[in-house]
Amino acid sequence: MTGLPSGLPAGFGLPGRSFRGNLHTHSNRSDGAFPPADTVQVYRNAGYDFVAVTGHFRPEFGYPITDTRDLRTADFTTLIGAELHAPRAEAGQSWHIVAVGLPRSWHFADVLLDRGHRLTAYAADDAPLQPQDPLPCQAWVQVRAESLTPEALLAALKSGHFYSSTGPEFHDVRVEGDQIVVRCSPVTKILLTGGHPGAEVAEGGNLTEHAFPLALFQGRHCRLTIEDPTGARAWTNPIHLPEL
């Protein structure tokens, strides 16, 4: 995905509200356990606002693009998707770009970002919901959009107006002058990292707010990560900063 948040990382401060969604899941149209309607219901029951059923776009499954439009209601919507597989790419064989759970290292993304690619990354379950699979509803995106429609959600995603989480919540993120100010649910660690070998870190028992200087990251990019006592994390997209 391209697009970037600038002065309003993750879309905080924009009109609308925050919607929770899973952008990567599987139904029995490819290797998932349940029909699309039942797959979607798992997320609905868990309080999500939207889901994308992303079947493997491969010949053995008949190249499915799962039509979930009839599962949309006033308070829940779906995005149409598929999991595409590149047969061969510069960086390796048959790979697909997905974030499963929370990345422990941003190295690869940071290399691409330093080369000038404006990438965003998101968390998702990638849940076929088979008995042997991990539990669903463990990783999601919070999208800031004006309304719960596929059009508004896709526009917000392309603009980078979202953050990803496996637990904690960002309440606000703002660039104010030469600082970045973050407010969040109670966490034990707040990190500011990115295209610089150094990092800014705040640690404590019950952090809900912090302001970091941005000096390390001027002319480059940075991102915020928060971590709660269980080790669950949430993180913003890269925030690209001008040279001072």
Tell me the sheet residues that pair with 145.
Answer: 17
Q: How far is the CB of 23 from Zn ion (least distance, A)?
A: 10
Q: Give the contact letters, 39-78, x = binds to Zn ion (CB under 5 A), - = no.
A: ----------------------------------------
By CB under 5 A, residue 110 contacts Zn ion: no
Among 49, 110, 125, 126, binds Zn ion (CB under 5 A): 126
Alpha helices in the chain, H assignment, sequence order:
36-45, 107-114, 150-158
What is the nearest approach in angstroms of Zn ion to the Cβ of residue 110?
A: 24
57-69: burial string, b at 16+ Cβ within 10 Å, e else: beeebeebebebe
- Rounded distance between C-alpha atoms, residue 19 and residue 146, angstroms: 10
Residue facing Zn ion at closest CB distance: 126
Q: How far is the CB of 24 from Zn ion (least distance, A)?
A: 6
Instruction: Give the CB-side neighbour count of residue 201, counting CA atoms within 13 A.
Output: 8
Smaller CB separation from Zn ion, 110 or 125: 125
Do 143 and 162 meet the contact criterion of CB atoms below 8 Å apart? yes
- Shortest spacing between CB 54 and Zn ion, in angstroms: 6
Q: Does 83 bind Zn ion (CB under 5 A)?
A: yes
Q: Which stretch binds Zn ion (CB under 5 A): 126-134, 153-161, 196-204, 229-237?
A: 126-134
Q: What is the Cα 117 distance to its own chain's centre?
A: 17
Counting Cα atoms < 13 Å in the Cβ hemisphere of 123 gives 27
| Count of residues interacting with Zn ion (CB under 5 A) | 2
Under rule CB under 5 A, residue 125 binds Zn ion: no
- State the DSSP code for 231: S
Footprint on this chain of Zn ion (rule: CB under 5 A): 83, 126
